[in-house]
Copies of this chain bind each other. A is one copy, B any other.
Amino acid sequence: MNDMDRRSMPLFSIGIVMKLTELTARQIRYYEANDLIAPERTKGNQRLFSFNDVDRLLQIKDLLDRGLNMAGIKLLLDEEKKEIPGEIPEKKKKTPANLTDEELRGILKNELNEAGRYGKASMRQGELARFFVRH
C-alpha cells in the first residue's frame, strides 16, 4: 500500500474531523453540498473522511478566512489537482474556452500566495502532511 492509498483511505468520522479542523458539522456538510469535498460513506450512509479530505477542509477554511467564496475555492482547489501531474509548467498552457476563469485563477493565485497569516486552528493547513512519509 502506497502513500496515495493511505491519504485517500476513509478513516475518520465527522466528529473527529470537526475536532481536527475546528469546523462545525454544518460547515463540513455545506462544503460537501457545494462539491468542495466528497467523503466516502459507510454502509449506513455515514460520512468517512480521508487524510486528503481533512487536508482539503483545512485549505477551505484558510481560503474562507481570506474572503473567498465557494466558487472561488472550488476553482482554486480544482486547479491544484490539474497541476500535480509532474509536468513542468511550460509557460502556462491556456485552455481557450475558459479564459475568464483562468484569469481569475491567475489573479487569485498571485494574490493569495503571499504572507502566511494563519488562524488559530488546532491543526493548521499543511501540518497534516506530517502524518506521512517524506518523498
Contacts and interface: CB of A to CB of B under 8 A. Distances in A.
Interface string A1-19: 1010010000111011000
B11 A12 contact: yes
A11 B16 contact: yes
A13 B15 CA distance: 10
Copies of this chain, how many? 2
Contacts of A1: 123, 127, 130
A42 interface: yes
A134 B131 contact: no
Contacts of A3: 130
Nearest to A2: B130
Nearest to A17: B11
A131 B51 CA distance: 10
Contacts of A11: 11-12, 16
Interface string A115-135: 000000001000100111110
Contacts of A132: 130-133
Given A1-B123, A131-B132, 4 more contacts: A11-B12, A11-B16, A12-B16, A13-B13
Interface of A: 1, 3, 6, 11-13, 15-16, 42, 48, 123, 127, 130-134
